[in-house]
Amino acid sequence: MPVIELLQYDFMRRALVAGLLVGLAAPVVGIFLVQRRLALIGDGMGHVALAGVAAGVLTGAAPVWTALVAAVGGAIAIELIRARGRTSGDIALAVLFYGGIAGGVVLISLSPTGTPANLNAYLFGAITTTSRADLVTFAVLAGVVLVTSLLLARRLFAVSNDPEYARAVGLPVLSLNLLLAVLTAVTVVVSMRVVGLLLISALMILPNAIAQLLCHSFRASLLAAVATGVVVSVAGISTSFYANTPSGGTIVLFAIGVFVLAALGAAVRDMVARRRHAAAEVHHAHEHGAGCGHDAVAHDDHVDYLHEGHRHAQHVGHYDEH
Amino acid sequence: MTDPTPEPVIALRGVSIGYTDRAVVHDVDLVVQRGEVVAVLGANGSGKTTLVRGLLGLARILTGEVELLGRPVGARGRSRWHGARIGYVPQRHTVGGTVASTVREVVSSGRLPRLGRVGWMREADRAAVTAAIDAVDLTPWADVDIADLSGGQQRRALIARALASEPEVLIMDEPTAGVDQASQQALARSVARLVELGVTLLIVTHEVGPLAGVVTRAVVVTEGRIAYDGPLKDSMIGAPDGAHDHHVHDPAGGARRPWLRPTIGGR
């Protein structure tokens, strides 16, 4: 097993643990972002985090922490702007994103030792330079993200699924949205060493895109996304060691490969299902049910209704001929 | 259908409601007793939706007093106490979208205001969700992706979501709009069952149509004020007049009934 062979190297062990943490946490946050149609917001936070990294390099503070401060601040600003205005929100977000990148580049140039090249490790990931201290930080942050989002999963689901309804039943919608934004920011910072700030959204979004091709419930989608996130992270990091490629890009290419396979698989599945499946009248206006006037026939695991000489069985939003 | 001893569940006194400081609904007095089934009728832009959105905490109460189930409602936000007891079925043609979710998962989110701090579902909560799905005849589809259901079935899933918290009052916004004939019948069956259970209903609608049998009272809103409050008249049930209803003319009984819309072919 090549992965087991990798475990003899300290730096690869740390890299794999970091990848595992990101693979677990990123899709969990990502599913709510996908549900809210905010798939690209992680990228915006990545831009803001870059300014934080640069500030860290300039002041000599730990870049992880300055990036965390910047990303969380940016996340709160983004969410408040979104909650406030409707028309200007989009543009305000753009200002924040560009400001992050521009600020990062300028701040790093002010540092006596810094050149924009110092940012490369953060832009594209530098997982093998992860120190033991980094790893502890990432583990704590990823743990906080996972526990918080799973504990509040029901509420985050309700707010992302239908914010207006959530408000009507008395859920604190703005607080929950702010919380999700902060969780996203934390995930961005945890992921930046693994996949890099430019590819941050990939691990939040792609595993969910894959799960959406295969699953028909939220719970299954979440589990499938997390499993995919873990698998592509570990596979990508292992491959990057042997192929001597950057870990971030390799992980993302793995994820895209899985996405293409899943899309093909889903297409084949749908084609087979369509062949085997005879739908009743396209416009079946009547809805069968107890006392609907048609005779019901219990048939193994389902009920057929006798309808003008043929049998109708319920199937996802329509009736099949049986 | 009214209780022998009247018990107001909705009480508005001199209420103005709007989204900004500007009122859309002016100086409304309205008392609804437990067990009533009230149809709130009016044209597009008449303020009927704003009126109920004010009750739901989705629009701002600018002046006056609102009491729901005997408790005053603040100017901003809504408590979980009210959230659990006053169900809301929004006007929406479809649910779900980018992430798959089953009928049961969506309906379960309606149970949230009854859950404890941590939000665990107990046995009783699961039972309430199952009962709510059953009440709208969606049991065979409970574990199906809601996006795969027909529009009428999705609408009933939203009713089930509101029922999951076992509300005493149910506010429905245009439950029949855009729903085909067959689904309207299924919908009417579900509503009749709620009436039997003693749920107080406030139904905002263009046309009473299939729900005429259960409605006990009609409130007509015109230009942000209550223009009529009394028994449902035959003329309100929804004879198609083909008119588009952006303007309201003589709603108290003119030949045109612009607050009513044809059942089919609208929107």
Q: Which of A59, A37, A27, A11 is nearest to A205 (CA)?
A: A27
* Distance in Å, alpha carbon of A45 to nearest chain B alpha carbon: 22
Instruction: List all residues 6 or more positions away from A171 whose beta carbon is below 8 Å from its beta carbon.
Output: A155, A158, A159, B80, B83, B112, B113
> How does residue B143 score in pLDDT terms, banded at 50, 70 and 90?
very high
The domain spans of chain B are 8-236
Nearest chain B Cα to A173, which residue? B77
> What digits encode the pLDDT tens for the residues B53-98?
998 888 888 999 888 988 888 655 567 788 889 999 988 766 666 8
Residue among B90, B98, B148 minimizing CB distance to A316: B148
**Two tokens at A156?**
């985050």
The reply to whether residue A289 touches residue B137, judged by beta carbons under 8 angstroms, is: yes
Tokens representing residue A297 in the block: 């026939």
Residue range A44-57: mean pLDDT, rounded: 90
Domains of chain A: 2-271 (1.10.3470.10), 284-322 (no CATH)
Alpha helices in chain A (DSSP H): 2-6, 10-35, 41-59, 63-84, 89-110, 120-124, 132-151, 153-161, 163-168, 173-191, 200-214, 218-243, 247-275
pLDDT at B201 over 50: yes
The tens digit of pLDDT for each residue in B91-105 reads 876 666 689 999 999
Cα pseudo-dihedral B155, A302, A221, A256, rounded to 10: -110
Which residues, other chains included, contact A60 with Cβ-Cβ below 8 Å and sequence gap of 6+?
none
Tokens of B137: 């005849």
CB-based contact B119 A155, cutoff 8 Å: yes
Q: Which residue has the tokens 């007891």?
A: B85
Please check the confidence at residue A63 and state whether its pLDDT lies above 90: no
pLDDT digits (tens, 9 = 90+) for A186-222: 999 988 888 888 888 899 999 999 999 999 999 999 9
CB contact under 8 Å between A314 and B140, yes or no, is yes
Options 2.30.110.10, 3.40.50.300, 3.50.50.60, 3.30.43.10; CATH for B8-236 is: 3.40.50.300
Mean pLDDT of B29-58: 90
Please list every residue in chain A whose beta carbon sits closer than 8 Å to the beta carbon of residue B79: 170
pLDDT in tens, B1-26: 444 577 889 999 999 999 888 899 99
Chain A residue at shortest CA distance from B84:
A169
A285 and B180 in contact by Cβ < 8 A? yes
The answer to whether A164 faces chain B, any CB pair under 8 Å, is: yes
Q: Which of B78, B98, B186 sits opposite A168 (nearest CB)?
A: B78
- Distance, in Å, from the CA atom of A233 to the CA atom of A235, rounded to the nearest integer, reads 6
Give the mean model confidence (pLDDT) for residues A91-117: 82
pLDDT of residue B263: 35
